[in-house]
Amino acid sequence: MRLPQQNPQRPFFAIQSLFAALLFSSLVLASVPATAAQVTSNQTQLHFGSIVIGQSESLPVTFTNPEKSSVTISSMISTSNEFSVQGLKLPLILGAGQTATFNVVFAPTIGGWQGGDLTFISNAGTIYIRIGGVGVGTESLKSSTSSLGFAPVVVGSSSTLPVVLTNSGTTGFVIAQAQLSGTSFSLTGPSLPITLQPNQSATFDVIFKPGTATTFTGSFVVPNGSLTIPISGTGITTSQLLLNPAAVNFGNVDVGTTSTQPVTLSASGGAVTISSSASSSSQFALQGASFPLTIASGQSVSLNLAFTPSANGNASGTVSLASNASDSNAQEALSGVGITPTYNVTVSWSASTSQVTGYNIYRGVSTSSYAKLNSALNPSTTFTDSNVTAGQTYYYVATAVNSTGQESPYSTPVQAVVP
């Protein structure tokens, strides 16, 4: 029997296949990289809000290498020319555990939304940061005050004044930073950055705590809002008498009547004893005080200022307070306008049961004598008398007149007292 012949190529194919398998395995193993250090960013997106065209705002970004080997950041690509990077020199080598902080700047040259990406390329991968902001033509951040002036504060004590910022624009506004300059001033408020929607407000409190008896100046600044508010305050060590408010305007007040407005007297730096008060005009006075009046340091007393105009027109004056304070003759500025009040008296009566053409109305200062007020028959059952005098008492009667001119007797008198 003839034995089957062995294929001479079979071993070759087997060896070739084994070689290819080994080669493929080697290639697969070679394609697996060694574990590389990974850089992290504290920001994955930056939103700048509304920035006025021609101005700029910057936000900080920090890269961190938490691994045990260094990483090289070789290049950066921005998809928008409205954004740039400051404080980052490339290539940047971050050693193990090192950080690098830089600023991303938005400087719009056109209006509307601008956005894109910042791409940072390194030998350990790519970092992407989304960026966006709105260029606006006019400033939209408004402040409740153009300046802050603190009343004198005793050294070691503090006083607080608010600043309310409102977005008066039509798009969201990001307050990225709020800076305060000047010693003895500090700032509290919402955590930043904060986005104010249209007509939304945020309140910041500026605190003045003087360390010495001198005058301090500073400013409250919102860089991306182009907002600078000057601040001033004075530290004192001697007792002072403080008046709040420092001036009072009573507005229009009827002649012969009295209008009052509150005033608060406060002592700072020590107790204050007020020995007397004086007014430069008889139309103004301080009410509710009994002298001598002592106010303890840090305490307050509320009194009333009164205005009693004696004639029509503008009136002004001052109320002075003599005390042992350093400002021993504190003064309150007062103003108001005296006006003569006008009064009307309206009378009405029941309609006549007979056919009448109209009515006559009569007035007297007593019930014994009357004078007719209307020049023509009054067609209705009401009448307004505009020619009356304050403080006078009047009596009114009415009569009915028919088509032939016949007039009825007087009605029952009614009394009207003008204030």
Query: Does domain 240-339 fall into CATH 3.30.470.20?
Result: no
**Phi then psi dihedrals of residue 276, to 5 deg:** -165, 170
Nearest CA-CA partner of 104 in 56, 162, 170, 54: 56
Q: Given pLDDT bands bounded at 50, 70 and 90, which one contains residue 364?
A: very high
| Residue 368 CB neighbour total at 10 angstroms | 7
Average pLDDT over residues 106-117: 82
Give yes or no for a contact between 370 and 363, defined as CB atoms under 8 angstroms apart. Answer: yes
Q: What is the pLDDT of residue 140?
A: 77
CATH 2.60.40.10 domain span(s) along the chain:
40-136, 141-236, 240-339, 345-417
Give CA 55 to chain center in angstroms.
24
In whole angstroms, give the CA distance from residue 167 to residue 169.
Answer: 6
More confidently predicted of 268 and 231: 231
Instruction: Report the pLDDT value the prediction gives residue 326, as an integer from 0 to 100.
Output: 78
> For residue 111, what pLDDT band results from cuts at 50, 70 and 90?
low
Mean of the per-residue pLDDT values of the chain: 86
Judged on CB neighbours under 10 Å (0-12, 13-18, 19+), 402 is middle
What is 141-236's CATH number, 3.40.50.2000, 2.60.40.10, 3.40.50.10470, 3.40.50.970?
2.60.40.10
Q: Over pLDDT 70: what percentage of the chain? A: 89
Q: Which one has a higher pLDDT value, 271 or 225?
A: 271
Res. 29: pLDDT tops 60:
no
Q: What is the pTM of this model?
A: 0.36
- Domain 40-136 bears CATH identifier 2.40.50.100: no
Q: What percent of the chain has pLDDT over 90?
A: 61
**What number is the average pLDDT over the span 174-187?**
89
pLDDT at 176: 80
Q: Is the pLDDT of residue 35 over 50?
A: no
pLDDT value at residue 143: 92
Pick the CATH number of 345-417 from 3.30.2290.10, 2.60.40.10, 3.40.50.300, 3.40.1170.10: 2.60.40.10
The structure tokens listed for 164 are 């309310």
Q: How confident is the model at residue 47 (pLDDT cuts 50, 70, 90)?
A: confident
pLDDT at 109 over 90: no
Q: Which two tokens stand for residue 94?
A: 């971050």
Q: What is the pLDDT of residue 314?
A: 96
pLDDT grade, residue 336 (50/70/90)? very high
Residue-wise pLDDT tens digits, 285-295: 999 999 999 99
**131 pLDDT above the threshold of 60:** yes
Cα-Cα-Cα-Cα dihedral of 308, 310, 316, 319, to 10°? -50
